[in-house]
Amino acid sequence: MNTIFKNYIIFWATQSFSQLGSAMTSFALIIWTYEQTGAALSVSLLSLFTYVPYIIVSIFAGTFIDRANKKRILAIADTCAACCSVIIFVLFSCHMLKIEYVYILNMIIGFMNAFQSPAESVVIGLLIPKDKLKQASGLDSFSSNLITIVSPMLATALVSIWNIGIVVVFDLLTFAFAIFSLIFMVHVTEDIEVTEESGAFRGFKEGLSFLQKHKEIWCIIITMSFINFFSRLTYENILSPMILARSGGSEISLGIVNAAIGGAGIIGGIFVTALTKKIDAVSMIYIPMIFSFFCGDLLMGIGNNTIIWCIAGIAASFPIPFIFAGQRIILYRVVPRNIQGRIFAVRNAIQFSSIPIGILLGGLLADYIFEPFMLQKGMIASVLGSLVGNEQGSGMAVMFLCTGILGAVGSMIAFHLPTIKKMKNKYF
């Protein structure tokens, strides 16, 4: 194995372990928050308070990232996140933890993530040989989906045995392991020179200027923003309440469906890692995207039992690692290393700006528009009811039908844009 790629494997493995601890703490806080309020909105706000500062800070973080030592940024960001976990542990142990404090700490974590995420992307680019981009992206998808499956189970088990405190302790142990590995085991060579510039928004303007000259990158970023919006609108927002409503409150069905979704993502990541056949990166993005929307979302809406929902979840989740791999290949081959920090920061600000919109809009549409609409006896509701029924959860099922149709059609249109077609056979 290439020595540089071995260096990446160490980085990937230790950071993934740390992310597992962070994900467990986040899930434990979701449980705690819902127990305190009984309101879904309070849980949604946990994500909202993380993403909003992340998006805002990303606007001007890029130039700083390009100039600074990337390992140092990662170490500082991880340390700040660990300090937030320590504060949660102390407040919880002293019976002083309040939801308002959790929101504030999530804002701090979102702030630091705005620096950490693009810095990590640059480090990955420095550690991965260009012929290993697909494999690295597959490994990343494998670990992220494995964390999605394992973190709720481990967090729930530890909370039931003890309390949130033990989850936070585990989080801190994973942090200690990751930070030690980052400092002493991961070697990153940075021979990048950046010209001196001024102005907090200069990097963001340069990033936008770069994207204007490389419209194919711009199209891909908008496409990924499109996916983020729909995933937060339905899958990561109303999937759980829809299944609970349509299955008679069966938590077992919900657990099986979530396991199928995560498992399909893991298998997809393995397939991408093992992929040896050359596939152009554009097709790797858009064909799986069309399949995911059309077969996943539509079937999820029409489905009325656990088996069909599992099939739908597999159809939606399996293609995702291919989409991310295609995006990564194009980004690393087009964006020069000396400006990757600002480009990735701009990418993050634009690509993730749709997430808080989807988080808020999904719940509002379900509660106040689609659910009431499907419970009335109008002609359109009756026609749609022949597909999804007219009981509790039918309105959310219709939302899946909408995202399936709109997502598939939008992906097809993007795939046939002249800008996209020009680069179809360009990136392998």
CA–CA dist 257, 308 (Å, integer): 9
Phi, psi (rounded to 5 degrees) for 113: -65, -30
Question: Mean pLDDT throughout 16-42?
Answer: 80
Structure confidence at residue 293 as a pLDDT band (50, 70, 90): very high
In a domain, 253, yes or no: yes
**C-alpha R_g of the chain:** 22
Q: Both 125 and 2 in a single domain? A: yes
Question: 305: domain range?
Answer: 201-428
Q: Is the same domain home to 59 and 173?
A: yes
DSSP output for 343-405: HHHHHHHHHTTHHHHHHHHHHHHIIIIIHHHHTS--HHHHHHHHHH-SSTTHHHHHHHHHHHH
Residue at token pair 């990937």:
12
One-letter amino acid identity for 302?
I
- In this structure, is residue 295 part of a structural domain? yes
Beta carbons of 118 and 65 less than 8 angstroms apart? yes
pLDDT tens-digit readout, 120-139: 888 888 888 777 777 778 78
Task: Give me the chain's average pLDDT, please.
Answer: 83
Asked if residue 206 and residue 182 are part of one domain, the reply reads no
**Could you tell me if 208 and 164 lie in one domain?**
no
389 sits in the region (left: phi over 0; alpha: psi -120 to 50; else beta) called left
Tens digit of each residue's pLDDT (9 = 90 or more) over 38-78? 665 676 778 788 888 888 888 777 777 878 888 899 999 99
Share of the chain above pLDDT 90, in %: 20
pLDDT of residue 403: 93
Residue 314 pLDDT level (bands cut at 50, 70, 90): very high
Q: Map tokens 């829809």 to a residue.
A: 242
Q: Is the pLDDT of residue 117 over 80?
A: yes
CA distance 228 to 246: 25
Residue 170: what pLDDT? 92
In a domain, 196, yes or no: no
Q: Which of 130, 160, 186 is the last residue of a domain?
A: 186
**193 lies in some domain:** no
Measured CA to CA, the distance from residue 256 to residue 295 in angstroms comes to 19
Of the listed ranges 36-45, 78-87, 254-263, 319-328, the least confidently predicted one is 36-45
**Better pLDDT: 196 or 244:** 244
Residues 168 and 240 in one domain: no
Q: Which of 186, 220, 241 is the last residue of a domain?
A: 186
For range 92-104, the mean pLDDT: 90
Highest mean predicted confidence (pLDDT) among 82-86, 203-207, 335-339 = 82-86
Average pLDDT over residues 155-178: 86
Q: What is the mean pLDDT of residues 178-188?
A: 87
Report the C-alpha gap between 108 and 142 in whole angstroms. 28
Residue 78 and residue 9 in one domain: yes
Domain CATH code at residue 23: 1.20.1250.20
Determine, yes or no, domain membership for 58.
Answer: yes
Q: Let me know if residue 24 belongs to a domain.
A: yes
Last residue of one domain, picked from the residues 136, 159, 186? 186
CATH of the domain at 400: 1.20.1250
Say which residues have a Cβ less than 8 Å from residue 428's Cβ, sequence separation at least 6.
Answer: 278, 279, 280, 281, 329
pLDDT at 352 over 90: no
Per-residue model confidence (pLDDT) at position 408? 93
Q: Are residues 324 and 405 located together in one domain of the fold?
A: yes
Residue 316 has pLDDT above 90, yes or no: yes
Q: What is the pLDDT of residue 300?
A: 94
- Same domain for 312 and 420, yes or no, is yes
| Domain assignment present for 191 | no
The rounded distance, in Å, linking the Cα atoms of 79 and 176 is 9
The pLDDT value given to residue 107 = 92
> Are 315 and 241 within one domain?
yes
Whether 205 and 181 map to the same domain: the answer is no
Average pLDDT of span 368-379: 84
- For the chain, the domain total comes to 2
Domain shared by 158 and 207, yes or no: no
pLDDT band for position 359 (50/70/90)?
Answer: confident
Q: According to the model, what pLDDT value does residue 59 have?
A: 77
DSSP line for 302-341: H--SHHHHHHHHHHHHTTHHHHHHHHHHHHHHHS-GGGHH
Residues 259 and 405 in one domain: yes
